[in-house]
C-alpha cells in the first residue's frame, strides 16, 4: 500500500487530544499505522470491499495531511466521520452506476441491441427475415416509431419521449412506416433487395 505524505512535517492531534508535531515521514507513517486499521475495518463493514476500504481510508489520511491537521481535536473521531462520509459518497456513486447499467440493460437487453429484456414482439420481428429487411428500408424516424410503437408495444407518449418529438410526430411516423411496410411486404422480392 502506498501512503502519500508531504515532506517537511505536519501538525495533527492524536487520539488523546494532544498536538503531535509530525516532522518526518516516520512519524506520519507511525500515525497511519496506529489509526488506519480501525478506519479500514469500519470502511470494510460499510462498503463490503476490502480494496475499496483501503482506498477510502488512504484518501481520508491524505485529506487530513493536506489540511495540516488543523481543527482536528480527536483523530479517531475525525477518521470515523471521514470514513463514514467517504463510504456514503462511494456507495452513492455505486448506486448511480448500477442504476445506469440497469437502464441500459432494459434498453438493450443482455445480448446487446435488439435483444429486449421484456417480452414483446421484437423476437418475432427478428425471426422474420422479410419483415426485418423491410424495416431496414424505412427512413430512420419511421423505423424507430414502428419498432417502439408496434414491436415494443410502447404507448405513444413514451415513444415521443424516447424519440424526443411530439406525440403527433410519433403517430404520423408510425402510420407512414406501417403503410410503407405493407407496400414493401406486398411486393415479392422487394423487401430483401
CA distance 2 to 127: 55
Name the CATH architecture for the domain at 10-106. Answer: Orthogonal Bundle (1.10)
DSSP letter at 192 equals: T
From the options 2.40.50.140, 1.10.3470.10, 1.10.3720.10, 1.10.10.10, give the CATH code of 122-186: 1.10.10.10
Helix-then-strand count for the chain, H and E: 8, 2
The stretch 44-56 carries a mean pLDDT of 90
Q: Are 25 and 5 in contact (CB under 8 A)?
A: yes
CA distance 77 to 60: 12
pLDDT in tens, 143-183: 888 888 887 788 899 888 888 899 999 999 999 999 998 99
- Grid coordinates of 91: 456507495
Q: Are 189 and 147 in contact (CB under 8 A)?
A: no
Q: Domain spans of the chain?
A: 10-106, 122-186
pLDDT in tens, 151-162: 778 889 988 888
Residue 18: pLDDT over 50: no
- Grid coordinates of 98: 448500477
The stretch 115-125 carries a mean pLDDT of 51
Amino acid at each position: 500500500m502506498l501512503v502519500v505524505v508531504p515532506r517537511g512535517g505536519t501538525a495533527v492531534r492524536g487520539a488523546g487530544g494532544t498536538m503531535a508535531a509530525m516532522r518526518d515521514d516516520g512519524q506520519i507513517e507511525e500515525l497511519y499505522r496506529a489509526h488506519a486499521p480501525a478506519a479500514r475495518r469500519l470502511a470494510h463493514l460499510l462498503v463490503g470491499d476490502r480494496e475499496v476500504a483501503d482506498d477510502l481510508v488512504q484518501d481520508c489520511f491524505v485529506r487530513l495531511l493536506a489540511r495540516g491537521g488543523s481543527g482536528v481535536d480527536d483523530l479517531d473521531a475525525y477518521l470515523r466521520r471521514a470514513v463514514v462520509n467517504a463510504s456514503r459518497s462511494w456507495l452513492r456513486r455505486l448506486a448511480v452506476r448500477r442504476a445506469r447499467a440497469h437502464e441500459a440493460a432494459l434498453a438493450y437487453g443482455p445480448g446487446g441491441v435488439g435483444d429486449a429484456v421484456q417480452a414483446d414482439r421484437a423476437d418475432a420481428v427478428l425471426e422474420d427475415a422479410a419483415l426485418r429487411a423491410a424495416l431496414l428500408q424505412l427512413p430512420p424516424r419511421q423505423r424507430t416509431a414502428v419498432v417502439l410503437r408496434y414491436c415494443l408495444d410502447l404507448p405513444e407518449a413514451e415513444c415521443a419521449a424516447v424519440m424526443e418529438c411530439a406525440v403527433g410526430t410519433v403517430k404520423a411516423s408510425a402510420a407512414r412506416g406501417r403503410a410503407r411496410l405493407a407496400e414493401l411486404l406486398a411486393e415479392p422480392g422487394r423487401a430483401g433487395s
